[in-house]
């Protein structure tokens, strides 16, 4: 079973999301929106304020991450999923 995970920069912890729409809502609350020049990179995204070493990890992973154990990545977002995420950013 795949679970959507994100980590918002170097100092954050991995968080589980229900779907791409809820992930977009989380990103929007942090100021990432359709005008933030969001780009897909390996295992995540870059956006204004989240570049270089401080990028946003975002991927499908296992469901078993707990405590200090980070989730194991299963796959990156597909181009279609990335487009869907962008459409939910306001």
10-residue block means of pLDDT along the chain (90 residues)? 88 90 92 87 88 86 72 92 92
pLDDT value at residue 1: 78
pLDDT value at residue 65: 60
pLDDT value at residue 51: 76
pTM: 0.86
Query: Distance between CA 79 and CA 77 in Å, rounded?
Result: 7
Query: Distance between CA 70 and CA 35 in Å, rounded?
Result: 30
How many domains does one find in the chain? 1
- DSSP output for 17-47: ESSHHHHHHHHHHTT--TTS--EEETTEEEB
Domain of 67 in residue numbering reads as 3-88
pLDDT value at residue 71: 87
pLDDT value at residue 40: 92
3-class DSSP state of 74: strand
């Amino acid at each position: 079973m795949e679970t959507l995970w994100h980590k918002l920069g170097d100092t954050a912890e991995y968080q589980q999301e229900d779907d791409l729409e809820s992930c977009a809502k989380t990103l929007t609350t942090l100021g990432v929106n359709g005008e933030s020049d969001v780009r897909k990179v390996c295992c995540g995204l870059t956006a204004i304020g989240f570049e270089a070493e401080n990028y946003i990890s975002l991927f499908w992973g296992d469901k078993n991450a707990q405590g200090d154990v980070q989730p194991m990545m299963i796959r990156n977002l597909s181009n279609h999923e990335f487009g869907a995420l962008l459409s939910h950013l306001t």
